[in-house]
Chain A
Amino acid sequence: MAAGVAAWLPFARAAAIGWMPVANLPMPVAPAEKNRRQDELIILNVSGRRFETWKNTLDRYPDTLLGSSEKEFFYNEETKEYFFDRDPDVFRSVLNFYRTGKLHYPRYECICSYDEELAFFGIISEIIGDCCYEEYKDRKRENAERLMDDQEDKKDAKLPNMTFRETMWRAFENPHTSTMALVFYYVTGFFIAISVITNVVETVPCGTVPNQKEVPCGERYTVAFFCMDTACVMIFTVEYLMRLFAAPSRYRFMRSVMSIIDVVAILPYYIGLVMTDNEDVSGAFVTLRVFRVFRIFKFSRHSQGLRILGYTLKSCASELGFLLFSLTMAIIIFATVMFYAEKGSSSSKFTSIPASFWYTIVTMTTLGYGDMVPKTIAGKIFGSICSLSGVLVIALPVPVIVSNFSRIYHQNQRQDKRRAQKVQKARLARIRIAKTGTSNAFLHSKRNGLFNEALEFTQLPYKMNLSEQSSTEEEQLLTKSTSLLESQHHHLLHCLEKTTNHEFVDEQYYQQSYLEAGLQNYPSRSPSLSSQDGMTGTCCSRRSKKHHTPLQNTSAPALMQPLTHKHTHQQGLQELSTIHIRPLSTSRSSLNMRVDEPASLNCQSNQITTAIISIPTPPVTTPDGDLTHQNVVKVSTL
């Protein structure tokens, strides 16, 4: 329960009077306040600086050091104060948390020392208020990154027992790890360069044979170039096969971009080997040689900048595509206009609209080759409009790319923030868990406390008949102390349960029962639980209610039955049924009676029997069996 409103608990409890007239069940007894003391001041001495606060303030958060009995360890008898040998500046924030319910992170504080103090005082950092949470998380992330950088330097140290394959893969990925890797790195880089230069020089005309036109070097020194090419392809093939062998996941490696580039780079050579001297396909073969230029992309393994550029272009693709589309629209428009404008003039180069495309592109990109010029006046007017608009259109892509680049750059930073936001979800989840912790605490204490209430409630003229074993167990659970605040809060929730005649259950339980209700339809009914729904009023009203609404009564137990059934099979799940009023009859047969036997209900009798049936772990299977089981506590009249 949020402690900031702890002081309002008396109000909430007083307001519960609104439920009283409506409730049909008797209310549980209020928790005993025998150990109520006047609110006292507590002195906390933190490294000499004295802080004083009310005890109730600290009790608001019983699962922290100051709120629990753990602080007794720090109690100093002579000075009657609690001494903590910690940083008093950070303690200020900690104490303010108790006072206001919000934890703040002071900016000047070191994140590590702050975390340590929080850990010492048992406060989770997720409850830092929204005002300071971003700052806290930023600092924490920076710190984590710093730690990670330190770690990465250590990560490259060779682990003692890596397999040969793993060593190879590590060598391929980080060339700086070993000398061999570095040598390999430079050798492949060298050969990529050689291969590219060879491809280029191949086509340069070098030297003339006197009676022939200039031939490119490639055809002059065919053998030399062929040998060079073969050597390069050999190296590349070997490298590719080695990478393939060393890759941890071969399938994923084969799908990666770099390996595709590798394959495309070496494939033409092999295809060329296969289909030599075949005139028909030599045309296609020549085309394939173009793909050799892709070898230059192999450099991207060696250059980080190329990779980033490629990534940028890839992520700009949508913007550039749209830009291209709008450019195409403009080109079509202007080409059409120019064509029709120049149609009249004789010997115009604007023979068709597609032919005008070329003029439009050249004009809009401000190239202006001059191979096509308009001659008519209309053509010139539209031509000038075209070039002016071209200037505008060309100005567009540059900011797009720039903004995309900065967007990608920030995206990297944002990715980190997104990771932080995921932690935010985790944070919300944890806060939610803490919240359900409250209700779970209530459910838990209900199991323990219900017994206590049964004891108190039946102080009136009943004699209790407890089984020995269960009493000792429950007594031990009773001595587990809950703070007064908690017990009062639980009492409040219990009153609400009584008013509505429904119980709080935790979420997973509810979902299970919900599912079960759909699936099962347990025919026989547990009398104790089935009568619960009917017992919403006094006996007489119940009977009349039964006559009015037979259907609902029968359907309700069906809903509850699977739950009981499920109960008994669940490991370690103990759920106490509520205390319910049963008419006077203690014999087992009458306890087993069905709901549709109202005749056996003794409306006139005022004596009541309460039965608490705790359904324990497995051995008990049927509700009937419960009654005989040891853990059943039956309070019977005499």
Chain B
Amino acid sequence: MSCRKRCKREIFKFAQYLYRLVTGTLNTDSVEDELELSTVRHRPEGLEQLEAQTRFSRKELQILYRGFKNECPSGVVNEDTFKDIYAQFFPQGDASTYAHFLFNAFDTDHNGSVSFEDFVMGLSILLRGSIQEKLNWAFNLYDINKDGYITKEEMLDIMKAIYDMMGKCTYPALREETPRQHVEIFFQKMDKNKDGVVTIDEFIDCCQNDENIMRSMHLFENVL
């Protein structure tokens, strides 16, 4: 902007200031942005529809919804609430980074909030889905930018987030390179063609061949 224009603007602002000083309106609050805190209310689809779309029974959906609504009376979860809730399960560490990744994984339409449908769909896959679906979901979680490849950086982020949840007081003491080492092990296991990224097929293949992972997939089946 040219010097002259800038000078004019400054003078104008000063004149405004003097005017406000004289009339005593110097400290007016700006227009309240209360509207920003608009309560987004969301009512989920009917019970029958959800029953059809997910693999939960009616009673289970009822239980889920009651818990959901208790914590989020408005019907949607935003990321901060999500982080708060998740952090309460891990008092010793910092669960916010991992919660962020989880939130992105649950928020399938990427609108910044997780509604009850998103929530229940995600849970349906995690708890009642086939192994393929579960592994798919896990891959989706690791693939932060959703481009179909897990790079070492993405994996490192995830790993650090998991280790953050452990907190400081662990045995043996956590060191700087522990997550990196863990990522190395992971890549050695998963990256079959050693091209530095893990694709969905490599991932699913490798997991299906690892009996620990297979067994752990069935761990949470009857959670609800």
Interface residues in chain A, defined as those with a beta carbon under 8 Å from any beta carbon in chain B: 1-2, 4-27, 29-30, 33, 39, 100, 435-436, 438-439, 488-489, 492-493, 495-497, 499-507, 509-510, 513-514, 517, 533, 536-537, 541, 544-545, 549, 552, 556, 559-560, 563, 575
- Tell me if B166 is interfacial: C-beta within 8 Å of chain A: yes
Contact indicator A8/B169 (Cβ below 8 Å): no
**0/1 per residue, B58-70, Cβ < 8 Å to A?**
0000011011101
With a CB–CB cut-off of 8 A, which chain A residues contact B123? 10-11, 14
With a CB–CB cut-off of 8 A, which chain B residues contact A493? 89-90
Selected contact of A12 from candidates B89, B163, B216, CB within 8 Å = B89
Compute how far the CA of A502 lies from the CA of B212 in the bound complex, rounded to whole angstroms: 18
Compute how far the CA of A11 lies from the CA of B116 in the bound complex, rounded to whole angstroms: 12
- Tell me if B16 is interfacial: C-beta within 8 Å of chain A: no
With a CB–CB cut-off of 8 A, which chain B residues contact A439? 91-92
- Tell me if B197 is interfacial: C-beta within 8 Å of chain A: no
Chain A interface secondary structure, helix, strand, loop or mixed? helix
Contact indicator A8/B185 (Cβ below 8 Å): no
Selected contact of A8 from candidates B85, B135, B174, B217, CB within 8 Å = B85
CB distance from B107 to the nearest CB of A (A): 13
Given A5-B71, A12-B89, A27-B215, A559-B173 contact (CB < 8 Å): yes
With a CB–CB cut-off of 8 A, which chain B residues contact A4? 70-71, 88
With a CB–CB cut-off of 8 A, which chain A residues contact B64? 7, 10
**0/1 per residue, B170-191, Cβ < 8 Å to A?**
1111100110011001101110
Which residues of chain B (43-99) have a CB below 8 Å from chain A? 63-64, 66-68, 70-71, 85-86, 88-92, 98
Contact indicator A17/B138 (Cβ below 8 Å): yes
CB distance from B66 to the nearest CB of A (A): 7
Contact indicator A17/B162 (Cβ below 8 Å): no
CB distance from A583 to the nearest CB of B (A): 16
- 29 inter-chain pairs at a CB distance below 8 angstroms, sorted by A residue, are A1-B91, A8-B85, A10-B64, A10-B67, A13-B223, A14-B223, A15-B102, A17-B220, A18-B101, A20-B213, A21-B142, A22-B159, A25-B212, A488-B223, A493-B89, A496-B166, A499-B162, A502-B172, A502-B174, A502-B178, A503-B171, A504-B167, A504-B169, A509-B171, A549-B181, A559-B172, A560-B171, A560-B172, A563-B171
With a CB–CB cut-off of 8 A, which chain B residues contact A552? 177, 181
Contact indicator A438/B169 (Cβ below 8 Å): no
CB distance from B184 to the nearest CB of A (A): 8
Compute how far the CA of A517 lies from the CA of B170 in the bound complex, rounded to whole angstroms: 13
CB distance from A638 to the nearest CB of B (A): 22
With a CB–CB cut-off of 8 A, which chain A residues contact B186? 21-22
Contact indicator B162/A10 (Cβ below 8 Å): no
CB distance from A496 to the nearest CB of B (A): 6
Selected contact of B169 from candidates A14, A30, A505, CB within 8 Å = A505
Contact indicator A18/B141 (Cβ below 8 Å): yes
Contact indicator A12/B172 (Cβ below 8 Å): no
With a CB–CB cut-off of 8 A, which chain B residues contact A502? 163, 166, 170-172, 174, 178
Selected contact of A510 from candidates B138, B141, B171, B207, CB within 8 Å = B171
Contact indicator B182/A1 (Cβ below 8 Å): no
- Tell me if B224 is interfacial: C-beta within 8 Å of chain A: yes
Compute how far the CA of A501 lies from the CA of B185 in the bound complex, rounded to whole angstroms: 13
Given A14-B127, A492-B89, A502-B171, A545-B185 contact (CB < 8 Å): yes
- Tell me if B168 is interfacial: C-beta within 8 Å of chain A: yes
Compute how far the CA of A15 lies from the CA of B174 in the bound complex, rounded to whole angstroms: 23
Number of residues on chain B facing chain A (CB within 8 A): 65
CB distance from B124 to the nearest CB of A (A): 9
Contact indicator A21/B223 (Cβ below 8 Å): no
Which residues of chain B (107-139) have a CB below 8 Å from chain A? 119, 122-123, 126-127, 134-135, 137-138
With a CB–CB cut-off of 8 A, which chain B residues contact A501? 182
Closest B residue to A4 by CB, please name it. B71
Contact indicator A541/B185 (Cβ below 8 Å): yes
CB distance from A54 to the nearest CB of B (A): 9
Selected contact of A15 from candidates B126, B166, B203, B222, CB within 8 Å = B126
Closest A residue to B137 by CB, please name it. A17
Given A496-B162, A513-B171, A541-B185, A7-B68 contact (CB < 8 Å): yes
Contact indicator B188/A541 (Cβ below 8 Å): yes
Tell which of A21, A33, A536, A560 has the most Cβ of chain B within 10 Å.
A21
Closest B residue to A578 by CB, please name it. B171
Contact indicator A5/B173 (Cβ below 8 Å): no
With a CB–CB cut-off of 8 A, which chain A residues contact B85? 5, 8
With a CB–CB cut-off of 8 A, which chain A residues contact B182? 22, 24, 500-501, 536
CB distance from B121 to the nearest CB of A (A): 12
Given A4-B70, A8-B71, A14-B223, A39-B63 contact (CB < 8 Å): yes
With a CB–CB cut-off of 8 A, which chain A residues contact B188? 541, 544
Tell which of B66, B105, B170, B188 has the most Cβ of chain A within 10 Å.
B170
With a CB–CB cut-off of 8 A, which chain B residues contact A12? 86, 89
With a CB–CB cut-off of 8 A, which chain B residues contact A537? 185, 189
Contact indicator B71/A7 (Cβ below 8 Å): yes
